[in-house]
Amino acid sequence: MDDNFGTTEDTREAAVLMNRIETALVDSPPRAWLQRSYELPLLERLGARIPGRRVVEIGCGRGVGAELLLERWGAAHVTAIDLDPAMVERARRRLARFGSRVEVRVGDACELPLDDAAADAVVDFAVIHHVPVWRDAVTEAVRVLRPGGQLVFEEVTRHALQRWSYRTFLEHPEVDRFSSDEFVEALLEEGLTMPVPAVTRFFGDFVLGVAVKPATANQGPL
């Protein structure tokens, strides 16, 4: 394995873990179908380029996203990270058939257990909105990206979290929630670029896009 993938034993409770209702929703066949049939094709149209790349998925849950990254998008290697040890064990079992192409680890999105510039892409399937200090999670994603690498994201906005259904049945940070524009602005402030503008879906509840870390003078985009 590439030595750029470092290790750390420390995680901190920076994210709000999903409750049982949200866990059931995220782990459901309809959610997997939506990712496979709608979200991934849309992200591809927005510029996601994963085949043959070394990818980090933050908040991997039971491993459905990592499975899609390996099977559907042809990632060369996926490091799947989740704060919840129980989810990490479920993901390890689910992804065991991929052998050395995948590593599943306990970790915090705000303190990723990876070295600088370790990944060609970081993928966020609706995880960063669970982090109270979400800007720190954005900073960490940028840190572990190689120059020319991509941050591929599908995020849940403040507009969604203010809905009665979200407030009643799900658990999320109560402060510093972001709009779609605020999330994109945070990426731009970190020095990322958006070759294709991000898009909002479902009445502004979700924002999806692909942000790129500028390449060095002697390196083009990945």
Longest dimension (CA), the chain: 51
The radius of gyration of the chain's CA atoms, rounded to the nearest angstrom, is: 16
Amino acid at 114: L
Site of tokens 């800007």 = 135
What does pLDDT average to over the chain?
A: 85
Residue carrying structure tokens 């949200």:
22
Mind listing the pLDDT tens digit for each residue in 187-205?
A: 999 999 999 999 999 888 9
**Which residue, chain included where needed, has tokens 């909105």?**
129
The residue written with tokens 């992804």 in the block is 95
Q: What is the pLDDT of residue 170?
A: 53
Model confidence band, residue 174 (pLDDT cutoffs 50, 70, 90): low
Burial of 57 (0-12, 13-18, 19+ CB in 10 A): buried
Tokens of 161: 């979290």
Amino acid sitting at position 162 = Q
Would you say 110 and 136 are in contact if contact means Cβ atoms under 8 Å apart? yes
Q: How confident is the model at residue 219 (pLDDT cuts 50, 70, 90)?
A: low
**Predicted confidence (pLDDT) at residue 169 exceeds the cutoff of 50:** no
Q: Name the phi and psi angles at 11, rounded to 5.
A: -130, 155
Which residues lie below 8 Å from residue 103, measured CB to CB, with a gap of 6+?
1, 5, 77, 78, 79, 80
To the nearest 10°, report the CA torsion of 187, 15, 89, 97.
Answer: -10
Q: What is the pLDDT of residues 43-75, one digit of tens each?
A: 999 999 999 999 999 999 999 999 999 999 999
- What digits encode the pLDDT tens for the residues 130-161? 899 999 999 999 999 999 999 999 999 988 77
What whole-number distance in Å separates Cα of residue 210 and Cα of residue 155?
Answer: 12
3-state secondary structure string across 45-75: HCCCCCCCCEEEEECCCCCHHHHHHHHCCCC
Q: Bridge-partner residues for 78, per DSSP? A: 55, 102
pLDDT top residue among 115 and 24: 115
State the pLDDT at residue 11. Answer: 37
Domains of the chain with CATH codes: 20-212 (3.40.50.150)
pLDDT band at 33 (very low <50, low <70, confident <90, very high): confident
Global pTM?
A: 0.84
Sequence-distant (6+) residues with CB within 8 A of 44 are none
Q: Could you give the CA distance from residue 92 to residue 76 in angstroms, rounded to a whole number?
A: 17
pLDDT at residue 59, as a whole number: 93
Q: What is the pLDDT of residue 198?
A: 98
